[in-house]
Amino acid sequence: MPLTEAQFQGRTAPLLTTTIGQHLDQVAKKDPNHMALIMPHQDIRWTYGTFVEEVDKLAAGLLNLGLEPGDRLGIWSPNRYEWVLTQYATAKIGVIMVCVNPAYRLYELEYALNKVECKAIITAPSFKTSMYLNMLYELAPELNNCKAGELKSAKLPHLETIIRMDEEKSPGMFNFGEICEAGSSEDFDRLISLGESLKASDPINIQFTSGTTGMPKGATLTHTNILNNAYFGGQSMRLTPDDRLCIPVPLYHCFGMVLGTLICISQGATMVLPGEVFEPVQTLEVAAAEKCTALHGVPTMFIAELDLPDFKEYDLSALRTGIIAGSTCPIELMRRLIDDMELTEIVIGYGQTECSPINTMTSIDDSLEARVTTVGVAHANWELKIIRENGVTAAIDETGEVCSRGYGVMQGYWGDPERTAETIDSDGWLHSGDLGEMDENGYIKITGRIKDMIIRGGENIYPREIEEYLYSHPQIQEVQVFGVPDDKYGEQVCAWIQPKEGSELKEEEIKEYCQGQITHFKIPKHIQMVTEFPMTVTGKMQKFVMRDEMAKTLGLT
């Protein structure tokens, strides 16, 4: 029966009531010889039986250090096997894993560790141009003269223990390998007892929001939040133990951690991580070699893969599904994924870190139109609604703020009740800040961010609408539309455009392409050709950076 207002409830289904550790043990016990984790760049090929053994060794070692349920432990690393072990070892002992952005620098690192009062951190030595160990020694020079596990730092007063990856020794730090061997028989006994006493409602992960605007906030998530989100996401993809999921997205974000490794654990499937960081060639090489049946990515990743000159040389015939998320998928890209990559069962996921992260998803059985123009309907055990500025539920096809409610809504922002109350209202609805529309069947179309909306001379302009049109230009690879200040109209439309390789596209050609096709006031007044865009590690475009840079370029305030 068609909806009469923009509010929809997804299907109801029993929630998993186990902890992540309990669920992992159940999966491993069922088929211990099934392949669990493949990481060619570190020569890792572990069955579920071996994977659980390695997880338990790290968990016991962390208990030996004195970590207790509820303590916070940071993980600061690109995609490595140590990251995956840490995710499940902390879950088994009730320690709250804090995902630290691999791109963080000194100020951001100090802020994150102190905000949630991390007691320990596991770190890679470096990542790209980020020298992690150097930064830690700069923030905590006391490391040079203290025993490992006994740090007392002026700038990081809560941090006691630093565990570094690789075998080289560093003053004041443990090595990851030695912690994995440090567990005593008593520690292993305690690990078993904790496995029986921990509750699914316990917080287990803190995810810092991407920081596209303002200071990052620590979304606090429970076993129930993320395990169920992974489980129902796996069902939407029709994952089985026979599937192999290629995960090139970063583990520090919910996409990699929940919809990547945990979605595999939830269904007993195989995790395949092609490298420390996304590289299109490496991703396709591994997906082909390991006969992956599923591939995840944000739009920019899939574009990079499809645009490889030798793309057709990779045997991706085993692929059938995957999730595209992180930002809205352009229509033309979805068609290429289905036609060229043969991801005939790929689904679009939409949500927020605060929702663990998925709250809507398209279905494998959805029509092509629904799959390329919407982000699907409310996920299992979720409610979605669109509201007007006054909080009243919007009408069908009316633009408003997307709000969601369900099992996956975070406990709150760590140590920040005021910002939590600004995001989750008294009725439990999480306000996303995203603008969207709902059709009569409950399908959601995301039209932009409330803060992204351009107000030009009293006209509300939604950047996504203009972006979708410009994506149809055959010479445009990527486009981002945003507002810049204007004395006369308040704001004017600006577009940053990345032309396809070999194109000599000019600003005048773009404006001519728009004439008579979109409303005159939506045609970008300012256009800049670029080769790349400022974005977060997870592939989210940082429009506020573009806006600031363009304002400076134009001499605007």
pLDDT at 333: 86
Instruction: Quote the crossing angle between the two packed helices 81-93 and 48-64, to the nearest 10°.
Output: 60
3-class secondary-structure state, position 364: coil
Cis previous bond, 141, omega within 30: no
**Per-residue model confidence (pLDDT) at position 479:** 94
Tens-digit pLDDT string for the chain (557 aa): 899 999 999 999 999 999 999 999 999 999 999 999 999 999 999 999 999 999 999 999 999 999 999 999 999 999 999 999 999 999 999 999 999 988 788 888 998 999 999 999 999 999 988 899 999 999 999 999 999 999 999 999 999 999 999 999 999 999 999 999 999 999 999 999 999 999 999 999 999 885 434 467 899 999 999 999 999 999 999 999 999 999 999 999 899 999 999 999 999 999 999 999 999 999 999 999 999 999 999 888 998 999 999 999 999 999 999 999 866 677 788 889 999 999 999 999 999 999 999 999 999 999 888 888 899 999 999 999 999 989 999 999 999 999 999 999 999 999 999 999 999 999 999 999 888 999 999 999 988 777 787 878 667 787 887 888 899 999 999 999 999 988 777 789 999 999 999 999 999 999 999 987 887 888 999 999 999 999 876 567 888 889 889 999 999 86
163-199 pLDDT, tens per residue? 999 999 999 999 999 999 999 999 999 999 999 999 9
Distance CA 252, CA 473 (A): 35
d(CA 260, CA 99) in angstroms, rounded, equals 15
Side chain identity, residue 9: Q
**Domain boundaries for CATH 3.30.300.30 within the chain:** 454-554
In 3-state terms, what secondary structure has residue 376?
coil
Distances (CA, A) of 370 to 439, 473, 478: 11, 22, 22
Closest-CA residue to 324 (of 333, 315, 311): 333
Q: What does the alpha-carbon distance between residue 24 and residue 146 come to, in Å, rounded to a whole number?
A: 37
The CATH architecture to which 20-199 belongs is 3-Layer(aba) Sandwich (3.40)
**CATH for the stretch 7-15+215-449:** 3.40.50.12780
**C-alpha–C-alpha distance, residues 194 and 284, integer Å:** 41
d(CA 18, CA 482): 44
Q: Name the CA radius of gyration of the chain, rounded.
A: 24
Domain with CATH 3.40.50.980 in the chain: 20-199
List, by residue range, all CATH 3.40.50.12780 domains of the chain. Answer: 7-15+215-449
Strand partners, 270: 244
Cα separations in angstroms, 10 against 19, 344, 377, 438: 24, 23, 7, 13
The answer to whether 493 and 510 have CB atoms below 8 angstroms apart is: no
Assess contact for 401 and 435: CB atoms under 8 A. yes
pLDDT of residue 327: 63
Helix (H) or strand (E) holding 300: helix 299-306
Number of helices (H), then strands (E), in the chain: 18, 27
Give the pLDDT of residue 458: 64
Q: How far apart are CA 512 and CA 347, in angstroms?
A: 35
Residues 6 or more apart whose Cβ sits within 8 Å of residue 516 = none
Fold of 454-554: GMP Synthetase; Chain A, domain 3 (3.30.300)
Burial 370-407 (b: 16+ CB within 10 A, else e): bbbbbbbbbbbbbbbbbbeeeeeebebeebbbbbbbbb
Q: How far apart are CA 20 and CA 194, in angstroms?
A: 12
Residue 522 vs residues 217, 467, 477, 497, 505: alpha-carbon distances, Å? 34, 10, 20, 16, 20
Strands (E), 92-141: 96-99, 120-123
550 within 8 A of 494, measured Cβ to Cβ:
yes
